[in-house]
Amino acid sequence: MSTFSILLALSITILLHLVQCHIIDGHSDLNLVELKLDQIALKQKLSRFRIYWHDIPTRNPPSSIPIVKPVTKTGFGQVNMIDNPLTLGPELSSKAVGKAQGFYGMASQEELGLLMAMNFFFTTGKYNGSTITILGRNVVFDRVREMPVIGGSGLFRWARGYVQARTHDFDLKSGAATVEYTIYVMHY
Ligand SMILES: *[C@@H]1O[C@H](CO)[C@@H](O)[C@H](O)[C@H]1NC(C)=O
């Protein structure tokens, strides 16, 4: 290699480095502060609990309302907005622990396969005001459906995990469903 090409390579390297530094410097516009993680990581917990989710389209007012009409006879395309009660036991009259707020949509053309997008908003004790966010695929007639917990707030800040949903009760006539949710969640 000639001295010239070595010098050329060197100046390109320096130039690239300068460009890179400039880009990294650009991030300081955010006043970004790096926090220490090690102390938080030590406090990580894995919690498991079980609650019941009640989808009641026929109550007055209903807890689950179709907001988008289906596009095919199979129901594909329908979207329901929900504000469903969450209780400790399977009976609607058992202790209320919060609400499941969000929506689900019929996302499969072949089966009753829902996209669930909802926040479990807790209203009891030290969990009052905390939430976990569930986003996943729910094939309603499967015995067990697993869906990811993708985040949380309050006591469930940094949450991740999964839920297992099992239908406890489904009334074909009214469409009312009670579903048992077992929640496994890592949080701090
Ligand atoms: C939960 O928090 C709300 C708002 O801060 C408060 O009004 C309510 O009384 C609390 N409920 C319980 C059961 O602590």
Would you write out the chain's pLDDT as a tens digit for each of its 188 residues? 577 676 666 666 655 555 554 555 555 678 888 877 776 666 889 999 999 999 999 988 899 999 999 988 889 999 999 999 999 999 999 999 999 999 999 999 999 999 999 999 999 999 999 999 999 999 999 999 999 999 999 999 999 999 999 999 999 898 899 999 999 999 98
Question: Contact 77/71 with Cβ under 8 angstroms?
Answer: yes
- Shared-domain flag, residues 71 and 112: yes
54 lies in the same domain as 35: no
Residue 58 near ligand 1, beta carbon < 6 Å: no
Say how many domains are in the chain. 2
Shared domain check, 98 and 28: no
Position 172 scores a pLDDT of 87
Q: Do 78 and 30 fall into the same domain?
A: no
Quick one: 132 and 183 in the same domain?
yes
Asked if 96 and 31 sit in the same domain, the reply is no
The CATH number given to whatever domain includes residue 121 is: 2.40.480.10
Ligand 1 center–CA 26 separation, angstroms: 43
Q: What is the pLDDT of residue 183?
A: 98
- State in Å: Cα 138 to ligand 1 middle: 31
What is the Cα–Cα distance from 57 to 175, expressed in whole angstroms? Answer: 7
Cis peptide bond upstream of 62, omega within 30: no
Beta carbons of 184 and 162 less than 8 angstroms apart: yes
17 shares its domain with 59: no
The pTM of this model reads 0.82
Q: Residue 179: CA atoms inside 13 Å, Cβ hemisphere, count?
A: 25
Query: Is the beta carbon of 95 within 6 A of some atom in ligand 1?
Result: no
Domain span at 92: 45-187
49 and 31 share a domain?
no
Q: Is the CB–ligand 1 distance for residue 128 below 6 Å?
A: yes
CA distances from 55 to 27, 39, 103, 167 (A): 46, 41, 11, 11
